A and B are shown apart, each in its own frame.
Chain A
Amino acid sequence: MLNLDRRWIFLAIGVVSIIPFLVGIGMPISTTAEVESIFDYVNGLDKNDAIFISFDYAPGTQAENTPMGVAVMRHAFYNDVPVFITSYFPLGHGMAIEGLNYVTNPAVPGFYQRVSFEEWAVFREAGITDKDELVIAWENDGNVLPEGAMGWVFEGRDFAMLGYAPLFHLVILGMTASIEAQYPQDIYENQLYEMPMLREHKSLREISLALTTAGSSACRSWIVYGREKVGLPVAFGVTAVMATDYFPYIQSGQIIGQMGGLRGAAEYEVLLAENGITASTDKAFRGMDVQSAAHMLIILLIIMGNIAFFAGGFHKKTAMKGRG
């Protein structure tokens, strides 16, 4: 059995990865303290706060990282918490745009209707920048929330797409003094000083949370340059293989919590759905069925490999070879 052609193993992994997507088992997922602490923290924020969501990963880990950023962005939008969106890497810039586009895509259930910076310029110039007043004025002006939308999100009031900047660890350091000095414009060339959310939150000292969704150790920069410099509250959303590395930061209180891999994102989706913030769970939850099947197969392969190894007497040969 040890000589099994590995193409059979590849085929088996392919099959168990595809079938759960087609069948849609939907096994229940319990939540952990590491994710609940992020959820509870974001749930306690309101329109007077602001958070950063940083898409610090390349497309390779998007299946794990994107649902984390999307889930927290939805949560923030639901509570009218302004969101600054950044990226540590050039490729993460594209991921950030896709994340925002997904949350504001009318084809996706539970989307938020996006209003560009130019569209609400008249209201801004009239001094209407409070979210509640803005929504009333906007709807009184004849704008109707599309069917299925969860609410309005105004560019510059509810979100600012800052994107990637070179040497991002220094950008974090610089933002401890001034966000505008590092990002005079957003990626759409809107001036940041004109944005109400920047006027109310000028530096990282005035930011309530930075969530870094990362596929590398880039997330540590938020601790080193943000948390330790100005006490910025930080939360991690990292890939499953990295999650084990950052438990010391949770215990030391340097991060509020951590979403580890697809499981972490799925837990956040479950918390959103259970609390009525979204109508249902999303991609991460669906992906967990695939992970269940794949993990079971890998464990089965480990057991088979060990049975074959010991039944075939290979362990004795190895021991004798070692003595020789």
Chain B
Amino acid sequence: MIVMVGGILMMVQYFIPHQYSQAVFNSYTEWAPIVGAFALILGVGSLTRVHSHKIRRKAKNWQYSWAVLLPLFGMPVFALLLPQSLAGGMEEPSIFHFLFMHIQVPIQSTMFSLLAFYIASAAFRAFRAKSALATVLLLAAVIVMLGQVPIGEVFGRWLPETGLWILRYPNLAAKRAIMLGVGFGILATNLKIIFGVERNWLGGAGK
């Protein structure tokens, strides 16, 4: 009922430029992030319960649960509770800033950088001109790849221009078709949720 009323209300207010409608909208947009922030408490509570349970039971790879829990509680302590005289806070120089810049940033950057190595390996092993469609895909990929980098222009202006043409026309047409399909799907799912036809998101799988 709450979802139905809330959903219909927000849909309707979008089309009514009246001060009462605007007041509802303003209240919602001020309250929603506050309510949403409480989901953080649920998330932290759930994560803590799962991992503390694993540690207590000495379940498989339980040591890694410490790697989750220590930063989970350590980072807020460093940022919010530790006084600035002891390198607290979030600004440089602080322990929080140091850990973010020298552990989290390199870890995430490294993970993303690994893609280059695996893409190269996969290109060698899997990118085959096995059929006419696969050959078209391969040629398009090579043209776009070369067209996107400065060295592509060494082969002539036609190469980057052809790469851009592929992106601007065939790619655009395919993407638009996919987006329209996804958009209609989202619309249908939202209406089903608002009118109570779809209830799986509540948990219990339709019970």
Contacts and interface: CB of A to CB of B under 8 A. Distances in A.
A and B interact? yes
A293 B150 CA distance: 10
A237 to B, nearest CB: 15
B109 A302 contact: no
Interface in A84-102: 91, 94, 98, 101
A178 B26 CA distance: 9
A151 to B, nearest CB: 23
B153 A171 contact: no
Interface string B113-141: 00011011101110111100000001000
A6 B29 CA distance: 52
Given A60-B111, A298-B119, A94 B167 contact: no
Contacts of A297: 120
A227 B116 CA distance: 35
Contacts of A296: 146, 149, 151
A297 to B, nearest CB: 7
A251 B179 CA distance: 14
B181 to A, nearest CB: 13
A299 B179 CA distance: 30
A166 B148 contact: no
Interface string B134-164: 0000100010011011111100000010001
Given A27-B151, A295-B146, A298-B119, A171 B172 contact: no
Nearest to B153: A30
Interface string A36-51: 0000000000000000
B37 interface: yes
Nearest to B96: A94
Contacts of B123: 298, 301-302, 305
Contacts of B164: 32
B176 interface: yes
Contacts of B1: none
Contact of B128 (A13, A29, A301, A309): A309
Contacts of B200: none
B50 to A, nearest CB: 21
Interface string A285-304: 00011011111111101101
24 contacts: A6-B121, A10-B117, A10-B120, A13-B116, A167-B36, A173-B29, A174-B33, A177-B29, A243-B167, A244-B171, A245-B175, A248-B175, A263-B149, A288-B150, A289-B150, A292-B149, A296-B151, A298-B119, A299-B142, A299-B145, A301-B120, A302-B127, A306-B138, A318-B130
B124 A166 contact: no
Interface in A177-233: 177-178, 181-182, 187
